[in-house]
Amino acid sequence: MNERTPKKGLRPRKAPSQPRSEETVAAIIEAAAQVLEAEGFDGFNTNAVAARAGVSIGSLYQYFPGKDALTVALIRREMKRFYDDVAIALAMHNGEDALTYLLGAAVRQQLQRPRLARLLDIEEGRPALRDEVAKPELEQMTTEIIKRAIPQHASPEVAAADLFAMVRGIVDAAGERGETDMAYLEYRVRAAVFGYLANTGTA
């Protein structure tokens, strides 16, 4: 089987070229989020999304060839929102402030819409989707922030990878437990991360 075939099915058929079509695509993607939140994987299908968006199934298929393409578009939307939040951290001159803001962004990403975040985390791990939603830029951004926060750190790239694993574990577990207190979760994440950075890898 041609390896490229499934990837084509994961991408939009066409990009919106007019404001009205951009609004339609945005409405379809938000409808996908709402259906996934409300119905879970069992109720997530193109007919349900089209109905929620108030468009015909034909209009949906003009842009998205199937459910997986919708899922990828939704993951990318959430990733962009997170990247936009992280960009604020990158613009900060103080490294510790930047890292603190980055950790807050991770908590917000998980708890603003916790059910959606948990389900999309599962989808990101699917082999068919993994290459389409890879996040190499995020580790690079995190490495840069760690270099600013702790200039003497001997292995900022390793620290960035460890930080990802640590934060994801804490935040995902909190989401699965149904936690809603962002401030308390952010406090725990900061304590874990800054404790780790203060005690490992410094020259």
* pLDDT tens digit sequence for 56-78: 999 999 999 999 999 999 999 99
pTM above 0.85, yes or no: no
- What is the mean predicted confidence (pLDDT) over 121-143? 80
What average pLDDT does the segment 96-116 reach? 90
- Write the CATH number of the domain with boundaries 4-199: 1.10.357.10
Beta strands in the chain (DSSP E): none
Contact between 53 and 31 under an 8 Å Cβ cutoff? The reply is yes
In angstroms, the Cα distances linking 127 to 40, 86, 173 are 20, 26, 22
On the question of pLDDT at 153 being above 90, the answer is: no
Contact 88, 44 (CB under 8 A): no
Q: What proportion of the chain, given as a percentage, has pLDDT over 90?
A: 42
Question: Hey, where are the domains in the chain?
Answer: 4-199
